[in-house]
Amino acid sequence: MKGPPSRWKFVIERVWQCPVCKKRAKTSGSVVNQACACQPGQTTWMRLVEDPTAKAPTPDPVNPSKTESPSAHQ
**Contact positions vs Zn ion (CB under 5 A):** 18, 20-21, 23, 36, 38
Q: Which is nearer to Zn ion, 41 or 64 (CB)?
A: 41
Q: Nearest distance from residue 54's CB to Zn ion, in Å?
A: 24
Q: Which is nearer to Zn ion, 22 or 55 (CB)?
A: 22
Whole-angstrom Cα distance, residue 30 to residue 48?
13
Whole-angstrom Cα distance, residue 44 to residue 37?
7
Q: Nearest distance from residue 31's CB to Zn ion, in Å?
A: 16
> Phi then psi for 57, rounded to 5 degrees?
-65, 130
Q: Nearest distance from residue 64's CB to Zn ion, in Å?
A: 47
Instruction: State the CB neighbour count (10 A cutoff) for residue 31.
Output: 14
